[in-house]
Amino acid sequence: MGKIKWSKPSLLAIAIILLWLKTYIVYKTSFDIKIENWRQEFILFLNPLSFLMFVLGIGLLLNEKKQKRYIMISSFFISAILFANVVFYRFFNDFLTIPVLFQTSNMADLGSSVNELVQVKDLLYFVDFFFIALVMYVRPQLLKYRQMAKTNRRAYFLVAIAIAFLNLGLAETERPQLLTRTFDREMLVKNIGTYNYHIYDVFLQSKSSAQRALADGSELVDIDNYIRANYKKPNDEMFGIAKDKNVILITMESTQNFVINETVNGQEITPFLNDFIKDSYYFENFYHQTGQGKTSDSEFLVENSLYPLSRGAVFFTHSGNEFNATPEILDKNGYYTASLHANNKSFWNRDIMYKSLGYERFYEINDYEVNEENSVGWGLKDIDFFEQSIQHLKEMPQPFYSKFISLTNHFPFELGEEDSFIDPYTSDDKTVNNYFPTVRYTDEALKLFVQRLKDEGLYEDSIIIIYGDHYGISENHNIAMGEFLGTEVTPFVSTQLQRVPLIIHIPGQEGQTISKVAGQIDLKPTILHLLGIDTKKNIEFGADLFSEDKLDFTVLRDGSFITKDYVYTRDICYDKQTGEPTDKNACEPYMENAKNELEYSDKIVYGDLLRFYENADYRKNN
Among 211, 228, 263, the domain-final residue is 211
| Radius of gyration for the alpha carbons in the chain, expressed in angstroms and rounded | 28
Structural domain includes residue 6: no
Residues 307 and 361 grouped into a single domain: yes
Q: Would you say residue 97 lies in a domain?
A: yes
- Is 3 within a domain? no
DSSP state of 569: E
Residues 84 and 194 in one domain: yes
Least confident interval from 345-349, 355-359, 510-514, 538-542: 345-349
Domain boundary among 211, 244, 279: 211
Q: What is the mean pLDDT of residues 177-191?
A: 73
What pLDDT score does 5 carry? 45
202/245 same-domain check: no
Burial of 445 (0-12, 13-18, 19+ CB in 10 A): buried
Q: Residues 203, 227: one domain?
A: no
**174 and 257 part of one domain:** no
In a domain, 564, yes or no: yes
Give the C-alpha separation, 141 to 559, whole Å: 67
pLDDT tens for 231-247 read 999 999 999 999 999 99
Mention every residue, 6+ apart, whose C-beta is less than 8 A from residue 295.
251, 253, 348, 405, 469, 470
- The residue from 23, 182, 255, 295 that is catalytic is 295
- Do 554 and 570 lie in one domain? The reply is yes
DSSP assignment letter at 137: H
202 and 180 co-located in one domain: yes
Do 246 and 204 lie in one domain? The reply is no
Q: Are residues 341 and 206 in the same domain?
A: no
Verify that 318 and 386 share a domain, yes or no: yes
pLDDT value at position 245? 97
Give the range among 44-48, 159-163, 182-186, 210-214 with minimum mean pLDDT. 182-186
523 found inside a domain? yes
Question: Is 2 a domain residue?
Answer: no
| Residue-level pLDDT at 594 | 94
Domain assignment present for residue 76? The answer is yes
List pLDDT tens digits, range 505-520.
999 999 999 999 999 9
Tell me how far apart the alpha carbons of residues 526 and 541 are, in angstroms, rounded to a whole number: 12
Backbone angles phi, psi at 147, to 5 degrees: -70, 120
Could you report the per-residue pLDDT of 588-603, keeping only the tens digit for each?
999 999 999 999 999 9
Average pLDDT over residues 524-543: 95
Q: Which of 366, 300, 303, 361 is nearest to 336 (CA)?
A: 361
Total domain count, the chain? 2
Same domain, 179 and 251: no
CATH number (domain holding residue 246): 3.40.720.10
**In-domain check, residue 339:** yes
* Cβ–Cβ under 8 Å, residues 505 and 246: no
Q: What is residue 144's predicted lDDT score, i.e. its pLDDT?
A: 65
Q: Which of 211, 235, 257 is the last residue of a domain?
A: 211
pLDDT in tens, 321-345: 999 999 999 999 999 999 999 988 8
What angle (nearest 5°) sits at the alpha carbon of residue 439, between those of residues 437 and 440? Answer: 60
Q: Tens of pLDDT along 91-143?
A: 656 777 665 564 443 344 444 445 556 777 888 889 988 888 888 777 766 66
Range of the domain at 342: 218-621
408 is catalytic: no
Q: CA of 182: how far to CAs of 186, 187, 481, in Å?
A: 10, 8, 29
Same domain, 25 and 60: yes
pLDDT at 116: 53
